Amino acid sequence: MLHNIDPADLPRALQRLVTHARGTPAALPRRSFLKLAGASGLALGAFPHVALGQTAGAAATTLKPTQQPSAFVQIARNGEVMVTINRLEFGQGVNTGLPMILAEELDADWSLVRSRHGTNDVAYADPLFGIHLTGGSHTIKNSYTQYRELGARARAMLLNAAAAQWKVDVATLRTRAGTVLGPRGLKTGYGELAEAAMALPVPEKVTLKDPKDFRIIGRPTQRLDAQAKTSGKQDFGIDVHLPGQLTAVVARPPVFGSSLALVDDSAARAVKGVKAVLRVPLDGGGEGVAVVAEGYWQATQGRDALKLEWDASKVEKVDSEKQLAQYRELAGQPGPRKLDADMAPLATAPQQIEAEFIFPYLAHAAMEPLNCTVRLGDNRAEIWMGSQSAGLDAAAAAKVLGFTPEQVVVNVLMAGGGFGRRFSSTSDVVVEACAIAKAARTAGLDVPVRTVWSREDDMKGGYYRPMHLHRAKIGFDDKGKVLAWDHVIVAQSILTGTVFAAFQVKDGIDASATEGMLTPYPLPMRLTVHHPKLNVPVLWWRSVGSTHTAFVMETLLDDIARATKQDPVAYRMALFGDSHPRHRAALQLAVDRSGYGKAKLSAGRAWGVAVHESFDSVVAYVVEASIKDGQPVLHRVTSGVHCNLAVNPRSIEAQVQGAAVMGLSTCLPGSAITLKDGIVEQSNFGDFTVARITDMPEFAVHIVPSADPPTGIGEPGLPPLAPAFANAIAQLTGKPLRQLPFNLA
């Protein structure tokens, strides 16, 4: 989601966001490393206080907190290695991938490696961007070198501790699977050395392994959370239970931003277990009523008993049909231009294509609904949640509570999905939860309060992937050479009005709306963008702009190939030329492994192809599809993936499959969020379609071998699935698909 941002700009963006959240200028929350290591109790040694010894040695170095092992590695006396991850694990596998990277350089016994989440402490900021961030498929990419160096530094300290204990030259020592080995048969486990190692200085420079010597990185590895999740033992944010804890749910306005005209809470207060009914402000300027009770059931019963009247007279009531008409009108008007190639050749082009594409609002629809638990003290707040940006959420919480960011601790917990919804620039979930906890405390309820959104709450009153309209007019010759491509995008801006607008909105164009257009194809394009403002909250959604731009680019290229009687793979390869070897390698791998052009397809089936780069990774799909009872059916998917070095091939396979399933969901009937008179018409999976196991095709993931530093993989598997599927259907019908979900009428 923030992948186009210059890393140098992000600390300044965080500064602005902290200032925005608190309302006054403030320095970034930078606790000393001494406080970090001592107070948090995170240490390489078996006992928390041992971290103080390391800090004394580290004080003379120029290492940042993100570079020092004490916040990231804890080795118990039995040799168990606990690795703290600096991101949110919400299904992408980073709670295994990051420990694999650190354990490789630590030379740990993988069977003894465990992982846990961090907090909003400065040590757990993204080492490149300088803010706490899980998004944009940056985790492995940005922390690969960081976690390698953390492991190497910890290993060096263990070796030095052993050398001091045995009174030998450290150069005579080596390590193997959690053990230090020395001359004359000397041998000791990491757990026996950890305490002494922590008293030593942290080395600034370390030598990293040659990738050819890796024994953990690159091997298909079962996820550390697999057993807990498959057995039902894994706790998520929604599972937090603290002594005396109460649960809150909120009655939200049917139209975004509406205010309350009348509140009759007498029946709600009479519900057994209800402790308070509180009128609270909501994100976007609206109002709501929070019911605080002993449990979720009692709270929802209390909410159902409320008698409320809403005033929507001062807010826009968006209607999807009228919105589409508005977008079509805008598409025909002049507007800001991202690209401005000469369009004169359009008039004389031998062949032309005109197309309009429609993409609806989409809900994030994560399996675990939104939640946040807050415990307030006089001068401190502690928060438990699945946060994609713990530092920004802490700053936003501090403003609501009247604290400084240093007085707020955000405990990051496992989340059951998110896809961007757990990171909004307004920190709406934590702000709401803190407002409720504060009001509850004022009402005499001095206990932790867990605020829970139902799935219906989020689907009808959350944030959405924006609706988009694309319009294209393309002129090309009989050999498929594009002479001019005139393109228009109409969509709400995600970033306008946020702190990220300063460097992501240029000349009135939101970069997140246009990412994925043109590249890697050398085409003469004029790209005009309109950003209407509507009363619907919008946010990034897994793979952001590429969710729609990939579909447009890859289906239109197929249209040109068909019109000029060219093979779609050969056509793309010719466009790549010698400039895009990763695209070529990914597509060729998918083609080779699928049998494209060689294997004989079953009657009624056709091939479909698409390739797209997002988040610095390239994914190509070759699919087989058919039409049954008037509906498209996806039978088989073969992928070629180029994400450079594959840290954990098993996680890559899972991520590509999971992203493809989300991409498939966007193709299916019913997979749209629509509005009527300002009210979202969908409320749950009964009327918002997601792909189910019966929709899942046969799936094969193939990874292009590479030793280059890894790139992102959490999102790149999504964009090319829908256009590959659509291209297969177009081969069967001769009619291109121009909208998601598919409409074969």
pLDDT, tens digit, for every residue of 152-198? 999 999 999 999 999 999 999 999 999 999 999 999 999 999 999 99
Q: What angle do CA 511, 516, 520 make, to 5 degrees?
A: 125
| Cβ atoms 414, 371 nearer than 8 A | no
Domain boundary among 452, 484, 517: 452
Per-residue pLDDT at 245? 98
In total, how many domains does the chain have? 3
**Strand 113-117, strand 81-85: pairing:** parallel
Are 436 and 414 in a shared domain? Answer: yes
Question: Is residue 185 domain-resident?
Answer: yes
Could you tell me what percent of the chain has a pLDDT over 90? 90
Could you tell me what percent of the chain has a pLDDT over 70? 92
Cα–Cα distance between 58 and 67 in angstroms, integer? 10
Are 387 and 447 in a shared domain? Answer: yes
Cα–Cα distance between 455 and 461 in angstroms, integer? 10
Are 281 and 221 in a shared domain? Answer: no
Structure tokens at 372: 């946040």
> 2 pLDDT exceeds 70?
no
Question: Is residue 319 domain-resident?
Answer: no
User: How high does pLDDT run on average in the chain?
Assistant: 92
CATH of the domain at 530: 3.30.365.10
Task: Give 626's contacts (C-beta < 8 A, 6+ positions apart).
Answer: 602, 604, 605, 606, 632, 633, 635, 732
| Cβ atoms 644, 708 nearer than 8 A | yes
Please give the C-alpha separations between residue 62 and each of 56, 67, 73, 102, 742, in angstroms, as whole numbers. Answer: 13, 10, 20, 21, 56
Are 301 and 223 in a shared domain? Answer: no
At 508, the pLDDT band (50, 70, 90 cuts) reads very high
Question: Is residue 272 domain-resident?
Answer: yes
Task: Give 497's contacts (C-beta < 8 A, 6+ positions apart).
Answer: none
Query: Does residue 741 have a cis peptide bond before it, meaning omega lies within 30 degrees of 0?
Result: yes
Are 377 and 483 in a shared domain? Answer: no
Helix (H, G, I), strand (E, B) or coil at 600: coil
Per-residue pLDDT at 61? 64
Q: Per-residue pLDDT tens for 428-477?
A: 999 999 999 999 999 999 999 999 999 999 999 989 999 999 999 999 99
Are 622 and 649 in a shared domain? Answer: yes
Cα–Cα distance between 25 and 19 in angstroms, integer? 5
> 136 pLDDT exceeds 80?
yes
Task: Give 364's contacts (C-beta < 8 A, 6+ positions apart).
Answer: 417, 418, 419, 420, 421, 458, 462, 463, 464, 465, 539, 541, 542
Give the other-Cβ count within 10 Å of 382's Cβ: 17
Q: Per-residue pLDDT tens for 318-347?
A: 999 999 999 999 999 999 999 999 999 999
Q: What angle do CA 178, 182, 188 make, to 5 degrees?
A: 40
Q: What share of the chain is helix, strand, coil (3-state, %, to 5)?
A: 35, 20, 40
Question: Is residue 23 domain-resident?
Answer: no
At 52, the pLDDT band (50, 70, 90 cuts) reads very low
Helix (H, G, I), strand (E, B) or coil at 475: strand
Are 73 and 198 in a shared domain? Answer: yes
Domain boundary among 230, 254, 284: 230
> 43 pLDDT exceeds 80?
no
Please give the C-alpha separations between residue 67 and each of 30, 198, 203, 384, in angstroms, as whole numbers. Answer: 15, 15, 10, 25
Question: Is residue 4 domain-resident?
Answer: no
Average pLDDT over residues 357-372: 97
Per-residue pLDDT at 372? 98
Q: Per-residue pLDDT tens for 667-705?
A: 999 999 999 999 999 999 999 999 999 999 999 999 999
Cα–Cα distance between 321 and 337 in angstroms, integer? 27
For the chain, count helices (H), then strands (E).
Answer: 20, 30
Average pLDDT over residues 251-258: 97
Cα–Cα distance between 616 and 709 in angstroms, integer? 11
Which domain, by its residues, includes 221?
A: 31-230
> 4 pLDDT exceeds 70?
no
Are 161 and 215 in a shared domain? Answer: yes
Are 480 and 441 in a shared domain? Answer: no
Question: Is residue 108 domain-resident?
Answer: yes
Domain boundary among 401, 429, 452: 452
Are 503 and 584 in a shared domain? Answer: yes
Are 340 and 412 in a shared domain? Answer: no
Cα–Cα distance between 591 and 621 in angstroms, integer? 8
Are 188 and 268 in a shared domain? Answer: no
Residue with tokens 């991101």: 87
